[in-house]
Amino acid sequence: MATIHEVMSDTPTRDEDQLLPDGEPIEQPSADTPARGYTDEQKYRIFNKEFMPHIDSMYNFAFRLTTDEDDANDLVQDTYLKAFRFISSFEQGTNAKAWLFRILKNSFINDYRKKSKEPAKVDYQDVETTYNSEDAESEHTVDLRAESVSDLIGDEVATALNSLPVDFRTVIILCDIEGFTYEEMAKILDIPIGTVRSRLHRARNLLKEKLRDYASSMGYKEENEE
């Protein structure tokens, strides 16, 4: 019998390695990203020109993760202040959006997830029964027709999304709502691309099950009208 830890074994766990002594996430040091000696003027310019344009996407991501406006506010503010503090590890003109999303995701895991009510909301049983073996995962397809869900409204889709465990919710937000590539997602989440792909696949199966439940509870029938 798989435990929840095994089931969730592709959950990011490497974040501890990336903490400074004071607990701040930073970019992993690598040969091609040496710390940069920006002047104050350059820092403000990068911040305003490269970071601030993503603030709506960042807020939306924070809100979808926390499902709470106050938490989203705090998370976005913390993230932007961290981004400014660690701006020397950002290379001007590179992928600012992915860089910011990665900081936000790490802040969420390190600072918010622990104190959130997330565990109570997560339907572990559901994850466990559906995905307690590799076979079940790879052979699993959800029996559902496009017509059955096409009348769902935004709130219903959002509720279905919110009901997914946060790791699954995250990949769907990054891919389908924010349009990141698998490669960008791998960097944001610190996981291999293969894990991005399989987690996305599992997340979508779960989402479709939730949507199917919604659609049938709303009285949409699996009718073949043509």
> Got the DSSP string for 89-127?
GS-TTS-HHHHHHHHHHHHIIIIITTTSSHHHH--HHHH
Contact between 145 and another protein by CB under 8 A: the answer reads yes
Least distance (Å) between residue 189 CB and another protein: 15
The reply on whether position 47 binds another protein by CB under 8 A is yes
Restricted to residues 106-125, the positions that interact with another protein (CB under 8 A) are none
Cβ nearer to another protein, comparing 36 with 197: 197
Residue among 92, 208, 102 at smallest CA distance from 145: 208
Q: SS3 of 18, please?
A: helix
DSSP 16: G
Would you list the DSSP string of 19-52?
A: B-TTS-B-PPP-TT-------HHHHHHHIIIIIG
Q: How many residues belong to the chain?
A: 226
For 211, the token pair is 């949507």
Residue 163: CB atoms within 10 A of its CB come to 19
Residues 4-43 that bind another protein (CB under 8 A): 40
Quick note: the x/- pattern for another protein over 165-204, rule CB under 8 A, is -------x--xxx---xx--------------x--xx--x
Q: Are 58 and 79 in contact (CB under 8 A)?
A: yes
Q: Let me know: does 101 contact 179? Beta carbons within 8 Å.
A: no
Asked if residue 73 binds another protein (CB under 8 A), the reply is: yes
Number of chain residues interacting with another protein (CB under 8 A): 47
CA distance 76 to 72: 6
Q: Does 218 bind another protein (CB under 8 A)?
A: no
Judged by CB, which is closer to another protein: 4, or 89?
Answer: 89
The DSSP bridge partners found for residue 19 are 25
Indicate whether 144 belongs to the interface with another protein (CB under 8 A).
yes
Q: Applying CB under 8 A, which of residues 98, 161, 191, 206 lies at the interface with another protein?
A: 161
149 is a contact residue toward another protein (CB under 8 A): yes
User: Interacting stretch for another protein, rule CB under 8 A, among 5-13, 102-110, 125-133, 145-153?
Assistant: 145-153
* List 18, 130, 152, 220, residue binding another protein (CB under 8 A): 152
The site for another protein (CB under 8 A) is made up of 40, 44, 47, 52, 55-56, 58-60, 63-64, 72-73, 76-77, 80-81, 84-85, 138-141, 144-146, 149-150, 152-154, 157-158, 161, 172, 175-177, 181-182, 197, 200-201, 204, 207-208, 211
